[in-house]
Structure 1
Amino acid sequence: MILSDLRSYLKQQHRVALADLVNHFSMDADALRGMLGKWMSKGNVRKLSKETSCGTSCCKCDPALTEFYEWVDK
């Protein structure tokens, strides 16, 4: 996967959990964080606050993967 694949997916989904990215791209979370960091440094992606949730209350998600990212249109 390259950065443009990540960009396309984020643009399509607009807001996505790190767990979804891990599943979609079959990649390690830390590798994805690095790629997301590139887009964040350019101002195209922002990490959402912890108050943002998936909308369920099941608490079955790995807390390390419950980070949410959002594509920012410029």
Structure 2
Amino acid sequence: MILSDIRRYLQQRQQVCLSDIALHFGASQDATRGMLETWIRKGKVRRLVSQVACGSSCGKCAPAQMEWYEWIGDRPQ
């Protein structure tokens, strides 16, 4: 997983949860979050944290499914 791979993945999907990104690249969520932080510092990605769960109140939603990232940089050509 390299930064350009993450860029392309986010550009194609616009908004993706952390667990989906990590699963797609076969990486840990911590490693994925670290790579995303690079794009955040460059102003290309925004971290979105959902305050609302799936709609139930069971509290079983994984935190990584509630942590979303959105590509806000240049769109693909």
What is the TM-score when the length of structure 1 is the normalising length?
0.82
Instruction: Name the structure 2 match of 1:27.
Output: 27
Instruction: Report the structure number with the largest CA radius of gyration.
Output: 2
Report the RMSD for the aligned CA atoms in angstroms.
Answer: 1.9
Q: Percent identity?
A: 46
Moved over 2 A (4+): 49-53, 56-61
Residues 43 and 73, structure 2, Cα contact 8 Å, conserved in 1: no
Q: Deviations over 1:17-36 (max 9, x none)?
A: 00111111110000001100
What is the TM-score when the length of structure 2 is the normalising length?
0.79
Q: How many residues align?
A: 71
Classify 1:52/1:18 alpha carbon distance in 2 versus 1 (closer, same or farther; 3 Å).
farther
Instruction: Name the structure 1 match of 2:16.
Output: 16
State how far apart, in whole Å, the 2-side matches of 1:27 and 1:73 are: 23
State how far apart, in whole Å, the 2-side matches of 1:45 and 1:52 are: 21
Instruction: Name the structure 2 match of 1:7.
Output: 7
Equivalences for 1:34-73 in 2 at 5 Å? Answer: 34-51=34-51, 56-57=54-55, 60-63=60-63, 65=64, 66-73=66-73
Q: Which ranges in structure 1 are unaligned for 5 or more consecutive residues?
A: none
State how far apart, in whole Å, the 2-side matches of 1:43 and 1:23 are: 24
